[in-house]
Amino acid sequence: MTAQATMTAENGARATRSDLLTMFRKTASEVVEKDFHHVEESTVISELAIDSLGMLEIIGSLERQLRIQIPDESLTGLTTIRDLLDVVEQRQD
């Protein structure tokens, strides 16, 4: 994550789409202890070999960083990282 993205999140301001992707890569890499810096918006979540508990942990961390809450219902049926970032972006609004 860039220093700027960190500051954006910590100031509570709206993170840009590319900040969010960067944030996902960094958070996933920390939580699962595996390198996820290659992840793109088109990446299919189920192909990341992250189990559902791991994904929830990542989402929990994103929620804390961005000071948002993502309801469980909106997590069902997500396929790609793009879908996930769409949900995150909506919650920032």
Partner 1 sequence: MAHPRFVAPTLVDAVRGLGDDRSRGFVFVRADGSERLVSFHDIAAEAERRAGHLAARGLRKGDRLAMVIPEGEEFVLSFLGALFAGVVPVPIFPQLSFKNVEGYHDTVAHIVRASGATMLLTSASTRPYVEPVLRREDTLRALATVDELSGASRPADVRVTPDDLAFLQFTSGSTSRPKGVVVSHRNLAANAEAFMIHGLDRDPAVDKGVSWLPLFHDMGLIGFVVGPLFTNVPCVFLPTASFVRAPRLWLDKIHEHRGTITYAPNFAYALVAKRLKDRDVEGLDLSCLRVAGCGAEPIQARALRDFAERLAPARFDARAFLPSYGMAEATLAITFVPLRDGLKTDVNEAGSELVDCGRPFPEHELAIIDEAGHRLGERQVGQIVARGPSVTAGYFQEPELTAQTYRRLGGQTDGDPWLHTGDLGYLAGGRLFVCGRVKDIVIVRGRNYYPSDIEWAVSELPGVRRGNVVAFGVPVEGEEQLVVCCEGTSADATAIREATAACVASRFGLSVHEVAVVGLASLPRTSSGKPQRRKTRELYLARALSRVRDGDAKKAGDIEGGAPTEGPAA
Which residue type sits at 52? S
Query: Is residue 1 at the binding interface for partner 1, with CB under 8 A as the rule?
Result: no
Mapped onto helix, strand or coil, the DSSP state of residue 80 is strand
Under the binding rule (CB under 8 A), the answer on residue 50 touching partner 1 is yes
Give one DSSP letter per residue of 15-81, joined into a string. PPHHHHHHHHHHHHHHHHTS--TT--TT-BGGGG---HHHHHHHHHHHHHHHT----GGGGTT--BH
Single out the residue of 6, 78, 82, 86 in contact with partner 1 (rule: CB under 8 A). 78
Structure tokens, 13: 């301001």
Q: Which stretch binds partner 1 (CB under 8 A): 8-16, 18-26, 55-63?
A: 55-63
Amino acid present at 67: R
Site string for partner 1, 29-48 (x = CB under 8 A): ---xxx----------xx--
Between 16 and 64, name the residue whose CB sits nearer to partner 1: 64
Interface positions with partner 1 (CB under 8 A): 32-34, 45-46, 49-57, 59-61, 63-64, 69, 71-73, 75-78
